[in-house]
Chain A
Amino acid sequence: MSIKVENLSYVYMQGTPFETVAVDNVSFEINQGEFVAVIGHTGSGKSTLIQQLNGLLIPTSGRVEVDGYEISTSKKDLKEIRSKVGLVFQYPEYQLFEETVAKDVAFGPKNQGVSEEETNIRVKEAITDMGLDYDEVAEMSPFELSGGQKRRVAIAGVLAMNPDIIVFDEPTAGLDPRGRELLFECIEEVRKKGKTIILVSHSMDDVARLADRILVMSEGKLIFQGTPAEVFSEQNVKLELNAPQLALLARKLNKTGKFNIPNGVFDVEGMKNVILKELGGKN
């Protein structure tokens, strides 16, 4: 299961004075099981890009191929692709509408025409995967839950469709630190089941810590792609991104000549060990 994007462009309101090129000749590939982050400023074309990955927007030019299916206006192919690529929008909790949590999560599988038995299994699994107690929440109204729980229910609704690839658009926006942490743990769990994860995020610290590979968008163009260590390396400062805090620390320490911190350490625990080693016998 892979995504292949070739020379993809998307133009809003083509042929009018308001014409804007949102995505400009972008090409990349994402492999099965990868965790890929998409970063870039607001308005860099990230949202337009990901909406083309499951055919919510049809490319103006270029190709998007998901597991051999190409995105086009063919309704049959689109249905197939939307089952393979799940898309979690920003603030997905505002999308909840059913009377109970279980019914809401079942909305996707039902549209797919999955049998009731299978639907129930999937609903239970998805809710559990999102770190919620199925027996406790299944019959509750989604509107009784806390903000963070609502969001995880909404994400379960996408998981229940059993997609191979899940795209998250700013999944932690507005959550408090604990909510953020819980959600990332759930995403990690989902990933361990072999799903491909595409994460759109503004948080460089999270992205650097979690992703295998990062796509950097700017003004509709894909200006760089590589591992977190490559993207946030010292040579790459020109990207003008808010580098992760620990990358900044490494740069500062290395500049003094006293330290030699390697590229690509983005978690506190790892950095602690590196620094301990660097300080060596002194302590």
Chain B
Amino acid sequence: MFKDVTFGQYYPSDSVVHRMDPRFKLVIAFAFIIVLFMINSFAGYITAGLFVFVCVAAAKVPVKLLFKNIKPLWFILLFMFVINVFFTRSGNVLFSFWILKITDEGLIKAVLMLIRIVMLIFFTGLLTLTTTPISLTVGIESLLSPLKKIKFPAHELAMMMTIALRFIPTLMEETDKIMKAQMARGASFDTGNLYQKAKSMIPLLITLFVSAFRRADELALAMTARCYNGGEGRTRMNPLKVSGVDYAGAVMTVLFIAAMIMFNYVHVI
């Protein structure tokens, strides 16, 4: 059952976006998302949309994959849309029924909110599709490294993320195996009331924990044998390198973001 889950949905390709330094990608994504929630003009929205479009095109990622990210979130999107539609009281009433009122302002607000969220999902999706999990962690470690001065465990955090990413599929497969073995011994995970279902999970969880600890123990020994001694003095096979692509991307982002903010004050449309 877990075989169908794909994790760290990296889409291998050789686009400019793929080649960018993960640190730049992280900062750009972060900046874009913040500004996305600051815009309040149509022109701003159009600029943001254009930016997303340019990035997707440059990344050569199938748009279908980006839409796939929205699928599991459709309910939340719908919920937010409905909330925005019904709870905006100002504006001209377009339709009213019982205590519910739909106003033109509410409708516009809801649609804009929806566009915002979809752009957010697209953009973060683009980040994970064009960056391997490992270079994401390397990027995060590097960005957080100035905090090492105040004893922030940046390297440890990144190492833990790497190990987690490495072991997620292993533990998922293991869960599947344990469930099957317990089902073969008459356990059932999908019958009975909530209490019975929760109770049937206990043997599964105990077994899984014991196994995870055993793995952790062995991994720690193996890492020690391979001279792992914390982050100090470590080098990297593929050190992060800033190239022309990164500066170009950064300049482009700054321009777009400047435009998005500018339109908040200068109303063109």
CA distance A94 to B177 in the complex (A): 10
Residues of B within 8 A of A111 (CB): 185-188
8 Å CB interface, A110-131 against B: 110-112
Are A83 and B184 in contact (CB-based, < 8 A)?
no
A184 on the interface (CB 8 Å rule)? no
Total interface residues on A, CB under 8 Å, equals 27
B206 on the interface (CB 8 Å rule)? yes
Contact with B along A84-128 (1 / 0, CB 8 A): 001101001011111000000001101110000000000000000
Are B185 and A97 in contact (CB-based, < 8 A)?
no
- Chain A: minimal CB distance from B191 (Å): 7
B203 on the interface (CB 8 Å rule)? yes
- Chain B: minimal CB distance from A101 (Å): 15
Are B177 and A161 in contact (CB-based, < 8 A)?
no
A108 with B180: in contact, given A13-B3, A97-B207 (CB under 8 Å)?
no
Residues of A within 8 A of B4 (CB): 13
Are A82 and B183 in contact (CB-based, < 8 A)?
yes
Are A89 and B177 in contact (CB-based, < 8 A)?
yes
Chain B: CB-nearest residue to A143: B210
Are B184 and A87 in contact (CB-based, < 8 A)?
yes
Are B185 and A161 in contact (CB-based, < 8 A)?
yes
Residues of A within 8 A of B191 (CB): 75
Residues of B within 8 A of A12 (CB): 3
CA distance A157 to B182 in the complex (A): 10
Contact with A along B199-228 (1 / 0, CB 8 A): 000010011001100100000000000000
Residues of B within 8 A of A157 (CB): 185
Are B186 and A56 in contact (CB-based, < 8 A)?
no
Q: Is the interface of B mostly helix, strand, loop or mixed?
A: helix
- Chain B: minimal CB distance from A168 (Å): 12
CA distance A161 to B187 in the complex (A): 12
Are B184 and A158 in contact (CB-based, < 8 A)?
yes
Residues of A within 8 A of B214 (CB): 94
8 Å CB interface, A26-45 against B: none
CA distance A274 to B267 in the complex (A): 101
B140 on the interface (CB 8 Å rule)? no
A158 with B177: in contact, given A94-B207, A97-B207, A97-B210 (CB under 8 Å)?
no
B181 on the interface (CB 8 Å rule)? yes
CA distance A260 to B148 in the complex (A): 78
A95 with B186: in contact, given A13-B3, A13-B4 (CB under 8 Å)?
no
CA distance A118 to B207 in the complex (A): 26
- Chain A: minimal CB distance from B255 (Å): 39
Which listed residue (A13, A94, A107, A143) contacts B185, Cβ 8 A?
A107
- Chain B: minimal CB distance from A126 (Å): 12
Contact with B along A137-161 (1 / 0, CB 8 A): 0000001000000000000011001
CA distance A78 to B207 in the complex (A): 24
B26 on the interface (CB 8 Å rule)? no
A172 on the interface (CB 8 Å rule)? no
A72 on the interface (CB 8 Å rule)? no
CA distance A279 to B269 in the complex (A): 106
Residues of A within 8 A of B178 (CB): 95
Are B207 and A54 in contact (CB-based, < 8 A)?
no
Are B180 and A95 in contact (CB-based, < 8 A)?
no
Interface centre among A51, A95, A107, A112 (most CB of B within 10 A): A95
Are A158 and B185 in contact (CB-based, < 8 A)?
yes
A79 on the interface (CB 8 Å rule)? yes
- Chain A: minimal CB distance from B184 (Å): 4
Are A161 and B180 in contact (CB-based, < 8 A)?
no
A89 with B181: in contact, given A83-B186, A94-B211 (CB under 8 Å)?
yes
Which listed residue (A56, A107, A112) contacts B203, Cβ 8 A?
A107
Residues of B within 8 A of A75 (CB): 191
- Chain A interface (Cβ within 8 Å of chain B)? 12-13, 51, 54, 56, 75, 79, 82-83, 86-87, 89, 92, 94-98, 107-108, 110-112, 143, 157-158, 161
- A and B contact pairs by CB, cutoff 8 A, 16 listed: A12-B3, A54-B184, A56-B183, A75-B191, A79-B186, A82-B183, A83-B186, A89-B177, A89-B184, A92-B181, A94-B210, A96-B207, A97-B203, A108-B186, A111-B185, A111-B187
- Chain B interface (Cβ within 8 Å of chain A)? 3-4, 177-178, 180-188, 191, 203, 206-207, 210-211, 214
